[in-house]
Amino acid sequence: LTAVFSGAFAVVFSAGAGGGNPARTRAVDFEAATRAVRAAETAGVKRFVMVSYAGSGSDLERLDPDNSFYPYAKAKSDADEFLRASTLDYTILGPGMLTLEPATARVTVLGSDNRPTDTSTSRANVAAMIAHVLANNAAIRQTVDFVDGPTPILSVVT
């Protein structure tokens, strides 16, 4: 990965094991993610965008370790923390439940007091958010949880 990343402007890590197997989930959602972070640092790539999920920072407090979602939540949370401890200019993006809807480039950024009932996020809007944060050097060393919504990405993520 270090050789592949050398000379790159940024690295975007957007992968998931798809659940079902805790070992595979840990291998993809934590081990591969942290390997990419280390490789970016070694290659001298400063900008890193991690696609996580909305609530990754707080789900572990709410989930029973026997819950089938727990291995995913744990792997993503651990990978996010690993990235936060790095030297990289990171952005962690936390979309809601992914859909195949078309891009609108409009979202609702979530906060502790802002949890809509519709938590869907189009994959296309995730791509638009990635493009926005990279093109505008936005949300450096920040986590941005978001869902599809009414507000243009350009006006809510700086």
Q: Which residues are catalytic, by number?
A: 72
Cα 27 vs. chain centroid, distance in angstroms? 16
139 backbone φψ class: left, alpha, beta (φ>0; ψ -120 to 50): left
Strands (E), the chain: 10-13, 47-51, 89-95, 97-99, 106-109, 120-122, 142-148, 151-152
The CB density around residue 18, as the number of other CB atoms within 10 Å, is 11
DSSP annotation of 19 reads: S
